[in-house]
């Protein structure tokens, strides 16, 4: 029994080996174990059809990485932010490029009635500047710029940077100047946003502008009283505003005017028999002078003297002179300075003349005028001073004068008395009078004498001589 089992084991082993060997050759193996005891079992192999084993393509191994989301990246903070090219209705905002930024967000705040408005998004830009137009003059604007990065599924922003500016404030409108002889009045239309105004002045003699006044915002006029006659003054006014720490100055507005020319002063007339020599003081900035005899223009001169010749002897004349200057194509003229005078008798030596019409007494010593003074002659009518050629009949100091006329009586003592008619008309001082000349003689004249101021009478009395001619006309 044991021998039989051993044999079977050996057969099984051989079979297994053959099966392995023939598997590659397509051979099938059969084992028969039914032979007589002691015989080796028979193994039968049956060839099989050869099969082709398909080739297998080897695919290389690949490693699939794990998916990781990129980290956030924030753009750099805005630098170099500034506002330039500021005008009254526009300005330019500019800044430096921010690293990592893909765009920029701009926010704006605008000055309101009482405070700045809240920031509102105004623009999204790719570039680093823009011009803001359509703005209001003299108004505060604030701009906040933020650098923004949109990438890798993220939107990141830098901190905002702020810049503030005020648009240029407008100049005043209708700036005008109106001149008088000693002042210039300036007027203008106010700017409602102004804080104040700066006023500057220049003149012909001082062409450099100098600030003369700071005007309150409520003011719309100013009178400059520190001016001289006949001079051109130029003014400029600058509107100023300050708000929220920023300020603006307008462009200057200009105007000019010339103060009125003064009338020629200290005009005098030197009288001759057939001519009158006029002299006057120069007027500031006058270019020339017009001389009139009566209503007729007789001379235009740059000098301050004029001689009128060809006049009649013992004749009354009225001259007037005014200053003239041109400015900006317009001719300016002063008021007239007037002098009433008369030609002399043309006598030689020493004499006294009394002009009734001009109420003037002149005394000539050796052909030269010694005294000229206003007087009051006899009342018009039957108390008039007698016209004609007379001479001094009496020269007395401290003379008592007594008389009566149509119920009027007088008894006065005069300091100086020069009688020149037989009916006691004379030249004397009259301390009771306070005014002389003009038309006083027509209503409040003397009783025929020539009333003379005390000071002038003292000089006349000193040079007078009995027999000296006295001509009344």
What's the pLDDT tens digit per position in 445-464?
Answer: 999 999 999 999 999 999 99
44: pLDDT strictly greater than 50: no
Cβ pair 401, 417 in contact under 8 A: yes
Is pLDDT at 8 greater than 70 in this prediction? no
**Of 142-151, 296-305, 372-381, the least confident:** 372-381
Mean pLDDT value of segment 339-363: 90
Cα separation, 245 vs 453, in Å, equals: 74
Residue 416's pLDDT is 97
Q: Which band of pLDDT confidence, cut at 50, 70 and 90, is reported for residue 41?
A: very low
Find all residues with CB under 8 Å of 168, minimum gap 6, and list them.
86, 87, 88, 137, 138, 248, 250, 251
Same fold, 82-166 and 351-472: no
SS3 of the chain: CHHHHHHHHHHHHHHHHHHHHHHCCCEEEEEECCCCCCCCCEEEEEECCCCCCCCCCCCCCCCCCCCCCCCCCCCCCCCCCEEECCCCCCEEEECCCCCCCCEEEEEEEEECCCCECCCEEEEEECCCEEEECCCCCCCEEEEEEEEEEEECCEEEECCCEEEEEECCCCCCEEEEEEECCCCEEEEEECCCCCCEEEEEEEECCCCCCEEEEEEECCCCEEEECCCCCCCEEEEEEEEEEEECCEEEECCCEEEEEECCCCCCEEEEEEECCCCEEEEEECCCCCCEEEEEECCEEEEEECCCEEEECCCCCCCEEEEEEEEEEEECCEEEECCCEEEEEECCCCCCCCEEEEECCCCEEEEEECCEEEEEEECECECCCCCCCCCEEEECCEEEEEEEEEEEECCEEEEEEEEEEEECCCCCCEEEECCCCCCCCCCHHHHHCECCCEEECHHHHHHHHHHCCCCCEEEEC
CATH 2.60.40.10 fits 265-342, yes or no: yes
- Tell me how far apart the alpha carbons of residues 102 and 45 are, in angstroms, rounded to a whole number: 83
Q: What is the mean pLDDT of the chain?
A: 88
Question: In the predicted model, what is the mean pLDDT of residues 261-286?
Answer: 93
Residue 140 predicted with pLDDT over 80: yes
Position 219 pLDDT exceeds 90: yes
Give the per-residue pLDDT at 65: 58
| pLDDT of 51 above 60 | no
Query: Which CATH number is associated with domain 351-472?
Result: 2.40.440.10
Identify the top-confidence range among 17-21, 266-270, 288-292: 288-292
**Mean pLDDT across the stretch 43-49?**
47
**Residue 209: C-alpha distances to residues 165, 198, 251, 284 (Å):** 29, 12, 15, 21
- Whether residue 230 contacts residue 262, with contact meaning beta carbons closer than 8 Å, is answered with yes
Could you tell me which of 291, 285, 287 has the C-alpha nearest to residue 267?
291
Give the pLDDT confidence score for residue 64 in this predicted structure: 53
66 confidence band (pLDDT: 50, 70, 90): low
At residue 69, does pLDDT exceed 70? yes
Cα separation, 379 vs 442, in Å, equals 6
Percentage of the chain with pLDDT > 70? 86
> To 5 degrees, how large is the angle CA 382–CA 383–CA 387?
90
User: How much is the average pLDDT of 70-74?
Assistant: 90
Residue 92 neighbours by CB under 8 Å, 6+ apart: 83, 84, 85, 86, 129, 130, 131, 132
- pLDDT one-digit tens code per residue, 412-426: 999 999 999 998 999
Q: In 3D, which of 383, 358, 188, 386 has the Cα closest to residue 271?
A: 358
Q: Which stretch, 104-108, 176-180, 284-288, 406-410, has highest mean pLDDT?
A: 104-108
pTM to 2 decimals? 0.61
Domain 173-258 coded CATH 2.60.40.10: yes
Query: How would residue 19 be classed by pLDDT, with cut points 50, 70 and 90?
Result: very low
> What pLDDT is recorded for position 162?
97
Specify the CATH number for 82-166; select among 2.60.260.20, 2.60.40.10, 3.20.20.100, 1.10.10.10: 2.60.40.10
Percent of the chain with pLDDT over 90: 72
Residue 407's pLDDT is 72
Average pLDDT over residues 79-108: 97
Which of the four pLDDT bands, split at 50, 70 and 90, describes residue 367? Answer: confident
pLDDT the model gives residue 5? 47
**pLDDT the model gives residue 60:** 55
Do the Cβ atoms of 256 and 202 come closer than 8 Å? Answer: no
pLDDT of residue 366: 92
Question: Residue 205: pLDDT above 90?
Answer: no
| 21 — pLDDT class (breaks 50, 70, 90) | very low
Could you report the per-residue pLDDT of 143-164, keeping only the tens digit for each?
999 999 999 889 999 999 999 9
Task: Report which of 373, 369, 352 is spatially closest to residue 473, judged by C-alpha positions.
Answer: 352
pLDDT band at residue 30 under the 50/70/90 scheme: very low
pLDDT-derived band at 13, boundaries 50, 70, 90: low
Domain ranges of the chain: 2-47, 82-166, 173-258, 265-342, 351-472
For the segment 297-309, the average pLDDT, to the nearest whole number, is 97
């Amino acid at each position: 029994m044991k021998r039989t089992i051993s044999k079977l084991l050996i057969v099984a082993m051989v079979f297994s080996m053959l099966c392995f060997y023939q598997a590659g050759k397509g051979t099938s193996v059969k084992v028969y174990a039914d032979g007589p005891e002691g015989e080796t079992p028979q193994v039968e192999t049956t060839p099989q059809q050869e099969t082709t084993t398909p080739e297998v393509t080897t695919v290389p191994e690949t490693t699939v990485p794990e998916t990781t989301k990129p980290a956030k990246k924030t753009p750099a903070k805005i630098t170099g932010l500034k506002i330039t090219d500021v005008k009254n209705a526009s300005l330019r905002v500019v800044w430096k490029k921010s690293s990592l930024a893909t765009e920029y967000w701009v926010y704006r705040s605008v000055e309101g009635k009482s405070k700045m408005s809240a920031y509102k998004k105004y623009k999204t830009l790719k570039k680093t500047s823009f011009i803001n137009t359509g703005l209001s003059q003299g108004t505060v604007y604030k701009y906040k710029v933020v650098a923004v990065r949109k990438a890798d599924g993220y939107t990141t922003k830098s901190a905002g940077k702020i810049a503030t500016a005020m648009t240029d404030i407008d100049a005043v409108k209708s700036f005008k100047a109106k001149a008088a002889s000693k002042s210039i009045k300036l007027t203008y239309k106010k700017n409602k946003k102004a804080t104040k105004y700066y006023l500057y002045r220049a003149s012909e003699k001082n062409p450099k502008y100098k600030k003369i006044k700071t005007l309150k915002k409520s003011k719309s006029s100013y009178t400059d009283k520190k001016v001289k006659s006949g001079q051109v003054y130029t003014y400029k006014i600058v509107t100023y505003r300050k708000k929220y720490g920023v300020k603006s100055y307008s462009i200057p507005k200009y105007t000019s005017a010339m103060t009125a020319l003064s009338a020629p002063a200290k005009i005098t007339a030197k009288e001759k028999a057939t001519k009158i020599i006029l002299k006057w003081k120069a007027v500031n900035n006058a270019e020339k002078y017009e001389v009139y005899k009566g209503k007729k223009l007789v001379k235009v001169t740059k000098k301050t003297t004029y001689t009128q010749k060809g006049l009649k002897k013992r004749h009354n004349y009225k001259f007037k002179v005014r200053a003239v200057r041109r400015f900006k194509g317009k001719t300016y003229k002063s008021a007239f300075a007037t002098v009433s005078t008369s030609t002399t008798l043309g006598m030689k030596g020493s004499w006294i003349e009394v002009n009734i019409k001009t109420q003037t007494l002149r005394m000539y010593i050796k052909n030269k005028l010694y005294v000229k003074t206003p007087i009051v002659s006899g009342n018009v009518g039957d108390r008039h001073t007698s016209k004609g050629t007379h001479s001094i009949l009496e020269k007395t100091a401290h003379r008592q004068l007594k008389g009566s006329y149509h119920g009027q009586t007088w008894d006065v003592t005069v300091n100086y008395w020069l009688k020149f008619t037989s009916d006691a008309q004379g030249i004397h001082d009259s301390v009771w009078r306070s005014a002389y000349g003009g038309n006083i003689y027509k209503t409040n004249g003397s009783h025929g004498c020539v009333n003379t101021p005390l000071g002038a009478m003292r000089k006349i009395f000193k040079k007078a001589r009995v027999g000296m001619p006295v001509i009344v006309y």
